[in-house]
Amino acid sequence: MLKYAIIVAGGKGERMGAKTPKQFLNLKGKPILMHTIEKFRTTFQDIEIILALPENQIDYWEELCALHHFPFSPKRVVIGGKTRFHSVQNALNLVTKNAIVGIHDGVRPLVSEGTLIACYEAAMHKGNAIPAVDLVDSLRHVSKQDNTNNAVTRSCYKSVQTPQCFASELILKAYQQEFNPAFTDDASVIEKIGEAINLVDGNSTNIKITTPEDLVFAEALLSL
Backbone phi and psi for residue 182, each to the nearest 5 degrees, phi listed first: -75, -10
* Domain that residue 35 falls in: 2-132+159-223
Q: Give residue 106's Cα distance to chain centre.
A: 6
Q: How far is CA 54 from CA 80, 87, 122, in A?
A: 5, 9, 31
Give the pLDDT mean for 16-41: 92
Q: What is the pLDDT of residue 16?
A: 64
**pLDDT by residue (tens digit) across 56-89?**
999 999 999 999 999 999 999 999 999 999 999 9
CATH number of 93's domain: 3.90.550.10
Residue 206 lies in a domain: yes
Q: What is the pLDDT of residue 62?
A: 97
On the CB side of 117, CA atoms within 13 Å amount to 7
Distance, in Å, from the CA atom of 182 to the CA atom of 82, rounded to the nearest integer, reads 15
Residue 11 predicted with pLDDT over 70: no
Residue 181 lies in a domain: yes
Distance, in Å, from the CA atom of 121 to the CA atom of 47, rounded to the nearest integer, reads 13
Residue 207 lies in a domain: yes
Q: What is the pLDDT of residue 18?
A: 66
Q: What is the pLDDT of residue 97?
A: 76
Number of domains in the chain: 1
Residue 153 lies in a domain: no
Which residues in 95-175 belong to E strands, given as ranges? Answer: 99-105, 128-134, 139-143, 148-152, 158-160, 164-167
Q: What is the pLDDT of residue 15?
A: 58
Residue 152 lies in a domain: no
Q: Cis check for the bond before 163: say yes or no (omega within 30 of 0).
A: yes
Residue 146 lies in a domain: no
**pLDDT by residue (tens digit) across 82-140?**
999 999 999 999 998 799 999 999 999 999 999 999 999 999 999 999 999 999 999 99
**pLDDT by residue (tens digit) across 137-175?**
999 999 989 999 999 999 999 999 999 999 999 999 999
Give the pLDDT mean for 7-29: 82
Residue 151 lies in a domain: no
Q: State pTM to two decimals.
A: 0.95
**pLDDT by residue (tens digit) across 201-212?**
999 999 999 999
Residue 143 lies in a domain: no
